[in-house]
Amino acid sequence: MGKNNSAELWIGFLGSLNEVQARQLAGIKALEFGWGGI
């Protein structure tokens, strides 16, 4: 549940940025968490 809530918060946060910023941040976080990209 914790990860799901965190993901929802990140999605909401990224949604408040423009698309380019959101993609850049998503890529950085994906590398940090080992998601391998979004």
The pLDDT tens digits along the chain (38 residues) read 456 678 788 777 766 767 788 788 788 887 887 765 44
- The parent domain of residue 18 ranges over 2-33
Q: Residue 17: inside a domain, yes or no?
A: yes
Are the beta carbons of 19 and 27 closer than 8 angstroms? Answer: no
Residue 38 falls within a domain, yes or no?
A: no
Q: Look at residue 23 and tell me if it is in a domain.
A: yes
What pLDDT does 17 receive?
Answer: 67
Domain presence at residue 13: yes
**pTM of the shown model:** 0.37
Task: Report the distance separating Cα 34 and Cα 18, nearest Å.
Answer: 24
Position 1 scores a pLDDT of 44
Number of structural domains (the chain) is: 1
Q: Could you give the dihedral angle defined by the CA atoms of residues 5, 28, 16 and 18, in that order, rounded to the nearest 10 degrees?
A: -150
- The answer to whether residue 15 sits within a structural domain is yes
Q: Is the distance from CB of 13 to CB of 22 less than 8 angstroms?
A: no
pLDDT reported for residue 37: 47
Q: Which structure tokens are listed for 4?
A: 């799901």
